[in-house]
C-alpha cells in the first residue's frame, strides 16, 4: 500500500509550525520530515560542527539526530519548550557525548582560547533560511552574550560548546578553579536575567 | 549538599561542566527541593538557548539526500502503533461517553423525525422509509455500544490544529462495528472521506461519507474481515471512494483487540 499525501507541497507544509510537523511524523509523513530538515538542518549542522569541529563527524551527528527524530517523534514534548531549543540542546548533548567518547579513545585536541575567539557568533552571518522568529531570538541571545564580560563568556562557551568541565577549563586557561567557577556562576546569572522573557516563553 | 552548595554549582551543572561527584550531589538534592529544582530548570533553559546564538551554515546537499534516502527506506508501520497505544488507553473513557451521547442524540433525533413524518401524505413515504432505515442503523449502533464485549478506540486527527474527533466501536457478539467522526473539516466538491481497515500493507474500505455538519458515521459488517485489523484510518478520496488509500491519513488509530474472557 503506497501512502502518498496528495496535499503535499512545500507551500502547504511551509505554513505548518514545528509542532504540527512533528505531529505529522507520527504518521510517517516524509514531506513533514523534509520540511523540518529544510528548516533546521543548517542549525543542527552548525551546532554539531561547532562542538565536534570536524565536518565528517558533524554530518554523522546530523544524520543520527534527524533519524532519531524520525523514529521517535514522541521524544519531543511541546509543553517543555520550543522545538528549536530542544533540537539544539539534543544536538549539543549528543555531540559532547561524542567528543568525550573520542577523548577517551584518542587524544582530544582542545582548541586554544585564541582559536575560540576566532569564531565568535556574529549577527551578520544570519542565514536567510532562518525563520523570523528564530532570527529575533538569536539577536536577543547575542545581545545578552555581548553584555557579559569577555572572560565569563569565553568560559561559558568552552563549557557549553566544547563540553569541558570546570577543571578542564581551569587547566586549559591556566586560571584557578575557583575563578572559573565564579565566572560561570556570574555569567550565567546575568544571562538568565537578560533572557528572562525568552525563558518565560520556553516554559509556557 | 544543601541549597547554598547547590546554588554554587547549578549553572556549571546546567552547562555540563560540573564534576561527576558534584552532579550526583545536586541531583539528589533537587529530587527533594522544589526551589532548587526550579532554579536548575531555569539554568538549563538558559544553557539550551546558547546554541541558538550560533551563525547558521547550510548543511551539505549530499547529507540531505543521504538522510532522506534512509528515511524513505524505513517501513510504514514499525513504531507508529506502540507510540499511539498509551494515548488511546488514556482517551478511552472520554470517547466512550462522547460516542454514547452522540448515538443516543442521533436516535432521539430520528425518533422525533419519525413522529413528524407519520400521518403525512404519500409523497413522504419514501422519506419515512429512509428514516426508518436510519433508525434501524441507530439501533444497531446502540446494540454495539451496549454489548457486553463492546470495545472502542479513539481516532485521532493527523493535524494538532484539527478539532476533529472520532472513535471506532465494535462488538464481536453483534458482528457490527461503527466509526463515528465529528467536527470533520468541510470537503471540496468531488471528494469524500473514506474509512479503511489496514492489515499489514493491505487496506480494505469501510465505506465513504460526505459529511453533514462535520459528522460522519460508517457501519461495518465484521464478518467481511477474517482477522482483527491493525488500524483504522480515514483518508480523503474522490467522491465514491478509491480502491486503495491514495491520500495520507487525516485520522488514524491503531486497533488493539482486547482478549475476551
Chain B, 76-135: which have a CB under 8 Å from a chain A CB? 76, 79-80, 83-84
Question: Strand, helix or coil at A87?
Answer: helix
How large is the average pLDDT for residues B138-162?
82
Instruction: Determine whether the interchain pair B76/A121 forms a contact, defined as Cβ–Cβ distance below 8 Å.
Output: no
Instruction: Determine whether the interchain pair B83/A41 forms a contact, defined as Cβ–Cβ distance below 8 Å.
Output: no
| Chain A to chain B Cβ contacts (< 8 Å) | 208
* Chain A residues closer than 8 Å to B158 by CB: 23-24, 26-27, 29
**Under 8 Å between Cβ of A22 and A76:** yes
pLDDT the model gives residue B57? 84
Per-residue pLDDT of A154-164, as tens digits, reads: 999 999 998 89
pLDDT the model gives residue B231? 92
**In terms of Cα–Cα distance, which of B194, B152, B204 is closest to B177?**
B152
Q: Which of A1, A42, A89 sits opposite B203 (nearest CB)?
A: A1
How does residue B94 score in pLDDT terms, banded at 50, 70 and 90?
A: low
Given CB atoms, is A54 within the 8 Å cutoff of chain B?
no
How does residue A169 score in pLDDT terms, banded at 50, 70 and 90?
A: very high
How large is the average pLDDT for residues A100-122?
56
Least confident of B167-171, B179-183, B254-258: B254-258
Per-residue pLDDT of B30-85, as tens digits, reads: 888 888 888 888 898 899 889 888 888 889 999 999 999 888 876 443 333 333 33
Given CB atoms, is B201 within the 8 Å cutoff of chain A?
yes
Given CB atoms, is A195 within the 8 Å cutoff of chain B?
yes
Output the pTM of the full model: 0.55
* Chain A residues closer than 8 Å to B245 by CB: 1, 3
Instruction: Determine whether the interchain pair B83/A74 forms a contact, defined as Cβ–Cβ distance below 8 Å.
Output: yes
DSSP state of A73: G
How does residue A25 score in pLDDT terms, banded at 50, 70 and 90?
A: confident
Per-residue pLDDT of B206-248, as tens digits, reads: 888 876 677 888 888 887 777 888 999 999 988 778 888 987 8
Chain B, 127-146: which have a CB under 8 Å from a chain A CB? none
Choose from B5, B21, B26, B54 for mutation: most chain A CBs within 10 A.
Answer: B54
* Chain B residues closer than 8 Å to A46 by CB: 54-57
Choose from B8, B10, B13, B67 for mutation: most chain A CBs within 10 A.
Answer: B67
Amino acid at each position: 500500500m503506497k501512502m502518498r499525501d496528495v496535499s503535499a507541497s512545500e507551500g502547504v507544509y511551509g505554513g505548518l509550525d514545528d509542532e504540527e510537523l512533528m505531529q505529522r511524523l507520527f504518521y510517517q509523513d516524509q514531506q513533514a520530515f523534509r520540511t523540518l530538515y529544510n528548516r533546521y538542518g543548517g542549525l543542527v549542522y552548525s551546532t554539531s560542527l561547532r562542538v565536534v569541529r570536524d565536518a565528517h563527524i558533524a554530518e554523522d551527528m546530523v544524520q543520527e539526530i534527524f533519524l532519531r527524530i524520525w523514529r521517535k517523534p514522541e521524544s519531543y514534548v511541546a509543553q517543555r519548550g520550543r522545538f528549536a531549543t530542544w533540537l539544539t540542546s539534543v544536538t549539543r548533548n549528543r555531540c559532547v557525548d561524542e567528543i568525550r567518547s573520542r577523548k577517551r579513545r584518542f587524544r582530544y585536541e582542545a582548541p586554544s582560547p585564541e582559536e575560540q575567539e576566532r569564531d565568535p557568533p556574529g549577527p551578520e552571518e544570519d542565514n536567510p533560511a532562518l525563520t523570523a522568529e528564530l532570527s529575533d531570538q538569536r539577536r536577543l541571545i547575542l545581545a545578552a552574550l555581548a553584555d557579559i564580560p569577555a572572560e565569563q563568556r569565553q568560559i561559558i562557551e568552552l563549557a557549553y560548546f566544547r563540553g569541558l568541565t570546570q577543571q578542564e577549563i581551569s587547566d586549559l586557561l591556566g586560571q584557578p578553579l575557583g575563578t572559573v567557577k565564579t565566572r560561570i556562576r556570574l555569567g550565567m546569572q546575568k544571562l538568565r536575567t537578560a533572557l528572562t522573557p525568552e525563558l518565560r516563553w520556553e516554559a509556557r | 549538599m544543601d541549597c547554598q552548595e547547590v546554588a554554587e554549582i547549578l549553572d556549571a551543572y546546567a552547562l555540563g561542566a560540573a564534576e561527576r561527584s558534584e552532579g550526583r550531589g545536586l541531583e539528589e538534592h533537587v529530587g527533594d527541593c522544589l526551589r532548587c529544582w526550579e532554579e536548575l530548570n531555569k539554568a538549563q533553559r538558559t544553557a539550551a538557548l546558547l546554541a541558538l546564538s550560533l551563525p547558521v551554515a547550510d548543511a551539505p546537499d549530499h547529507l540531505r539526500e543521504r538522510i532522506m534516502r534512509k528515511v524513505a527506506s524505513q517501513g510504514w508501520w514499525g513504531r507508529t502503533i506502540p507510540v499511539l497505544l498509551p494515548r488511546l488507553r488514556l482517551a478511552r473513557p472520554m470517547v466512550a461517553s462522547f460516542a454514547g451521547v452522540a448515538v443516543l442524540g442521533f436516535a432521539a433525533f430520528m425518533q422525533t423525525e419519525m413522529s413528524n413524518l407519520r400521518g403525512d401524505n404519500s409523497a413522504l413515504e419514501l422519506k419515512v422509509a429512509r428514516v426508518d432505515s436510519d433508525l434501524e442503523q441507530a439501533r444497531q449502533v446502540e446494540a454495539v455500544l451496549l454489548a457486553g464485549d463492546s470495545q472502542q478506540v479513539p481516532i485521532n486527527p493527523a493535524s494538532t490544529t484539527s478539532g476533529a474527533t472520532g472513535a471506532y466501536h465494535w462488538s464481536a457478539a453483534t458482528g457490527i462495528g461503527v466509526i463515528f467522526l465529528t467536527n470533520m473539516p468541510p470537503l471540496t466538491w468531488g471528494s469524500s472521506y473514506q474509512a479503511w481497515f489496514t492489515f499489514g500493507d493491505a487496506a480494505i474500505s469501510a465505506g465513504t461519507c460526505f459529511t453533514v455538519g462535520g459528522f460522519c458515521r460508517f457501519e461495518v459488517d465484521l464478518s467481511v474481515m477474517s482477522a482483527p485489523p491493525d488500524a483504522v484510518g480515514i483518508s480523503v478520496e474522490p467522491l465514491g471512494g478509491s480502491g486503495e488509500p491514495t491520500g495520507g491519513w487525516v485520522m488514524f488509530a491503531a486497533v488493539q483487540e482486547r482478549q475476551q474472557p
